[in-house]
Structure 1
Amino acid sequence: MKFQPDQFATAITAYGQGWIAVGAERIEHSVLLQLDGARTRWPCARFEELSSAHFEPLAASAPELVVFGSGLRLRFPPPGWIRPLIEAGIGIETMDTAAACRTYNILASEGRRVIAALLLETGNV
């Protein structure tokens, strides 16, 4: 009987303030992670920089769920920002980035069509 799940292409293997690791790769900028292994720079460094334009590409990828890591602390996006996801019938779960990393790993290990949208911030927020 196997107790450990198979590793998948975008498993988050470590994280800390302002960074995550995917396998041996250290990422120090906000990022979109997809189950197929795609890693895309997400052009935002602070929660206040986000807008609906940041969430539109997520809807185009047609995941079943987006796990949004809102940075060092939990902050919910206004409905206008996530409207592209709502209109496409895509679920979104918001949590701080550390919790989003853990949740993404669980869902991805189950083979769910999930995207992690991780805001990687440094310093006090």
Structure 2
Amino acid sequence: MQLKRHSSKDSIDYSIYPLMKLHLTQAAGSHLITGYGDGWVEVNHHRHEHSLIVLPAHINPGWAVESFDHLQADHFQELLTLKPELILLGTGNKHRFLHPSISRDLITAGISVECMTTEAACRTYNILMAESRQVAAALIV
């Protein structure tokens, strides 16, 4: 493959390309997910290698969930007391859905639950947190 080099006499009209302005999300006293990978999640540049719960003003690095298959309604009791408007459940490397019996208490309390891969939950959490939403990320690592 050969790259075409532009000479100084060539001009590129950038006005025909749509532009997107990106902003660096700042944590400013909130918990921000700063990285993730296979078997780990980083919150405010601190690496976690076990499942955890992250909210803008609260973190539980010891969420006792080993895998999606072991999830029970009791695992969400802490989130019921914290009352987020939305829980993003990071299900690991594979997108899976909760059985309704596990999320029943959350739904009854008016808390929405969205299931997605852990990587997608990390990205979505940062976006919603930056919008000042009361979001929780329950991440299976």
Output the TM-score relative to the length of structure 2. Answer: 0.79
CA distance in 2 between partners of 1:57 and 1:3 (Å): 32
Match of 1:75 in 2: 96
CA distance in 1 between partners of 2:25 and 2:70 (Å): 36
In 1, are the aligned partners of 2:118 and 2:140 still within 8 Å (CA)? yes
CA distance in 2 between partners of 1:103 and 1:90 (Å): 17
Can you give the 5+ residue segments of structure 2 that lack an aligned partner in the other structure?
Answer: 1-21
In 1, are the aligned partners of 2:52 and 2:59 still within 8 Å (CA)? no
The alignment yields a C-alpha RMSD, in angstroms, of: 1.5
CA distance in 2 between partners of 1:40 and 1:111 (Å): 22
Report the residue type matching 2:93 in the other structure. L
Alignment deviations for residues 53-111 of structure 1 (CA, whole Å, 9 cap, x no partner): 11222112111110110111101010011111111011111101000000000001111
Q: Which has the larger radius of gyration?
A: 2
1:28 and 2:49 are equivalent in the alignment: yes
Q: Which moved more, 1:108-117 or 1:5-14?
A: 5-14
Q: What is the Cα deviation at residue 4 of structure 1? A: 3.2
CA distance in 1 between partners of 2:23 and 2:52 (Å): 30
1:100 and 2:116 are equivalent in the alignment: no
Alignment deviations for residues 16-71 of structure 1 (CA, whole Å, 9 cap, x no partner): 01101112210000000011143341101111111111122211211111011011
CA distance in 2 between partners of 1:14 and 1:79 (Å): 30
Can you give the 5+ residue segments of structure 1 that lack an aligned partner in the other structure?
Answer: 121-125
Q: After the TM superposition, list the runs of 4 or more consecutive aligned residues in structure 1 that deviate by more than 6 angstroms.
A: none
CA distance in 1 between partners of 2:55 and 2:75 (Å): 15
For residues 7-86 of structure 1, what are the structure 2 equivalents within 5 Å? 7-8=27-28, 9-86=30-107
Q: Which moved more, 1:54-63 or 1:80-89?
A: 54-63
Q: What is the Cα deviation at residue 115 of structure 1? A: 0.7
How many residues in Structure 1 have an aligned counterpart in Structure 2?
119
Output the TM-score relative to the length of structure 1. Answer: 0.88
Match of 2:24 in 1: 4
